[in-house]
Amino acid sequence: MIMYGYKAEYCDGIVRAKIVKRESFKHKDGFVILENVPIGVCDHCGARYYHASLLRRVAEVATGHVAAHTELVPVAQFA
């Protein structure tokens, strides 16, 4: 995928494109989940990288500019 393939920021690995079924992104106080999304994964340490177009998409979803459905997520105290 053209948006990755560059040298990783924090180690000597290469950031490789990987299409994942679901990835959750923080947005302000909440989260947005994108499906079938091309993220970057460092082939050395596994760190995840997000192309700017992914974050633009997250903002579009969060502000209601993209058709999306909502799922309930369980939330609880650790202890």
Distance CA 64, CA 43 (A): 34
**Closest distance between Zn ion and the C-beta of residue 44, in Å?**
4
Taking the least distance from each CB to Zn ion, the nearer of 11 and 55 is 11
CA-nearest of 46, 71, 68 to 58 is 68
The mark string for 7-46 relative to Zn ion (x by CB under 5 A, - otherwise) is -x--x-x----------------------------x-xx-
CA-nearest of 15, 11, 68 to 39 is 15
Number of H helices, E strands in the chain: 1, 3
Taking the least distance from each CB to Zn ion, the nearer of 34 and 41 is 41
What are the residues binding Zn ion (CB under 5 A)? 8, 11, 13, 42, 44-45, 47
